[in-house]
Amino acid sequence: MRIGDAAAAAGTTPRALRFYEERGLLPPPARSTSGQRVYDLTDVIRIRAVRELLGLGLTIEDVRGFASRLDLFTETAKPRCSPAPAAPDGSAASPASAAVARRLAALDAEIDRLTRLRDRLAHAAGGGSAQ
């Protein structure tokens, strides 16, 4: 399949696929004799994994960090258990868990910041209700 079909199958656009490839989230795909990118189902599964991680709020950098282990997220697309097992000694065994931890911390900080901002704004506007 060509880039348009692969993008549609993964729920995104050709431009995004070229962008992921350029940033190292996807391996360079096969090319036809005329130079057009050729994708197969394995590629589509990878693309979906990338999309899902980005959709979870990870950055391009984060995902590139464990791009080489992306298949751990996509084995038969049915991982019952956690795809990123934490090391028993407490250290980050994979760059994935480290990135996720960083993202979680960043999200918590941002939620906290916005919540305080909301409260201040509500208070300045004459005492808004909580929640």
Please report, as ranges, the residues that interact with a second copy according to CB under 8 A.
56-58, 81-86, 97, 100-101, 103-104, 107-108, 110-111, 114-115, 117-118, 120-122, 124-128
Quick one: residue 92, left, alpha or beta (phi over 0 = left, psi -120 to 50 = alpha)?
A: beta
Specify the residue, 34 or 91, whose C-beta has the smaller distance to DNA: 34
- Crossing angle of helices 41-55 and 14-22, in 10° steps, is 80
Q: How far is the CB of 1 from DNA (least distance, A)?
A: 8
Contacts of 83 (CB under 8 A, 6+ apart): 72, 73, 96
Which residue number, 44 or 100, has a Cβ lying nearer to a second copy? 100
Distance CA 91, CA 21 (A): 30
Residue 31, H or E segment: strand 30-31
Choice between 60 and 72, CB closer to DNA = 60
CB under 5 to 8 A by kind: which of a second copy, DNA, none does 109 bind?
none
4 binds DNA (CB under 7 A): yes
Minimum separation from the CB atom of position 122 to a second copy (A): 6
How many CB atoms neighbour CB 93 within 10 A? 14
For residue 74, state whether it binds DNA (rule: CB under 7 A). Answer: no
CA dist 62 and 72 (Å) reads 15
Told to check if 3 binds DNA by CB under 7 A, we report yes
Give the interface with DNA as residue ranges (CB under 7 A). 2-5, 12-16, 18-20, 32-37, 54, 59-61
